[in-house]
Structure 1
Amino acid sequence: MNWKTAFRSFYYENAEAPDDIVLSPAQTALLVIDIQNTYLETPDDPAEAERWQPFFERMNGTVIPNTAKLLDWAREKGIEVMFARIACQTEDGRDRSLSQKKPGFNYLLLPKDRADSQIVDALTPRGDEIAVTKTTDSVLTGTNLRLMLHNIGITDVIVAGIFTDQCVSSTVRSLCDESFGVVVVEDCCAAATDDLHRRELEIINMIYCHVVSSEEAMSFVK
């Protein structure tokens, strides 16, 4: 793919190609969102397990390996590495936002110390890398990440994680509204289906972020 022409929505079909992106390591953060054990668990129901199989294949075959490479690259370049995960402070989840208390897929009860709420082993934070917990979709809404980014001097954020059409999209929009430059790494993200993934990337691309491949993202830092 070529990030300057890919994932164009109706609004930007005929827009000029954007300028080249140049990222300064000292002012750039890599944010990995919600790649947690709970989302890699195979449902007990065989039909439901089959329905989610393409997602599991993308996560295990593409998103997690590519995100691991992106993390290694960011650490080597001196880019600030940050993580967010969904986790509540209480055992009964009374501190959750309304979206996580409603019945259905978004119902989440993930106490912060439970194994299924943890970031997957392949992407475990290292040293003093910042990891925040939230009970919201947007990381900025549910944590003090905004303040930390400003305190560290970050101006641009590279985003990876799940789900493209939910927490990733909400976070990207919040970051853009706060005037951060945002790059979303397409092959380090996933939605429940490839169709949802691609449609959401078209919606947010060029307006709230630039959608790129992991190889392209790594080329932006010289």
Structure 2
Amino acid sequence: MRRHDCALLLVDLQEAFFANRVLAAARPRLLAAVHRLAEGARRAGVPIFLISTEHSRDRSTWTLSMLDDDQGFLFHGDAGTATVAELDTTGMTRLEKTRDSAWLGTDLPLRLRNLGVDRVMIAGVSAHACIAQTARDAYAHNLRATIVVDAVADEREDHMHMILDLLVGDRQADLAEVDEVLDRWREGDPLRG
């Protein structure tokens, strides 16, 4: 395995998302799993991208639903946009997005191409939205995507399981658990599929 055959994408691990009751309950489990993934990635030399959502107050980055509701969210500089306190961000590359997908309107494709990445491992929140769309768009960019199922959470668990099944069924992503990913990184196998 070349050093950068894969990259770890940590999506929307921001305080505002964990204000949701279901995500708040999942927080300790999720962040413990993410911590293990990040430590394993550092040991294996796998690049880590910390991807967050931030919007401008001037409405220029708002989604259609935000515009329809005339209510913005995750404004640059607000406390809720901060990365969760438990996460050690040492060595992570930060990337801001304004849509569900980490690919839309960002330089993620260029960064991954420059690193020679051909597979992304995805963890974070929320599985039915930002995780799923990031995986779909990885597929659209001809990169393989693995969703680390015990390192994702969702406020709508029924949607999470349904969308993960669809992604696998459509061959747009595969699923793995943290232990499997860490074992493969130790063995130098990027989870080819």
Q: TM-score range by the shorter chain?
A: 0.7 to 0.9
Q: Match of 2:64?
A: 98
1:99, distance to aligned residue in structure 2 (A): 4.1
Q: Matched residues in 2 for 1:151 and 1:99: separation?
A: 34
Q: Match of 1:197?
A: 160
Paired residue secondary structure (2:69): coil
Cα shift readout 1:5-27 (whole Å, capped 9, x = no counterpart): xxxxxxxxxxxxxxxxxx65421
Paired residue secondary structure (2:86): helix
Unaligned runs of 5+ in 1: 1-22, 42-51
What percent identity do the matched residue pairs reach? Answer: 22
CA RMSD of aligned residues (A): 1.9
Matched letter for residue 184 of structure 1:
I
Q: Which of 66-75 and 91-100 deviates more?
A: 91-100
Matched letter for residue 51 of structure 2:
A
1:59, distance to aligned residue in structure 2 (A): 2.3
Question: Is the CA contact (8 Å cut-off) linking 1:156 and 1:182 kept in structure 2?
Answer: yes
Compute the TM-score of the two structures, normalised by the length of structure 2: 0.87
Matched letter for residue 167 of structure 2:
I
Paired residue secondary structure (1:211): strand
Paired residue secondary structure (2:83): coil
1:182, distance to aligned residue in structure 2 (A): 1.0
Q: Which of 205-214 and 71-80 deviates more?
A: 205-214
Cα shift readout 1:12-48 (whole Å, capped 9, x = no counterpart): xxxxxxxxxxx6542110000001100122xxxxxxx
Alignment of 1:1-12 (within 5 A): none
Kindly tell me: are residues 135 and 99 of structure 1, through their superposed partners in 2, closer, same or farther at Cα, counting changes over 3 Å? farther
Aligned residues: 185
List structure 1 runs of 4+ shifted beyond 4 angstroms: none
Q: Matched residues in 2 for 1:73 and 1:32: separation?
A: 13
Paired residue secondary structure (1:133): strand
Paired residue secondary structure (1:63): helix
Unaligned runs of 5+ in 2: 188-193
1:91, distance to aligned residue in structure 2 (A): 3.0
Question: Which structure is larger by alpha-carbon Rg, 1 or 2?
Answer: 1
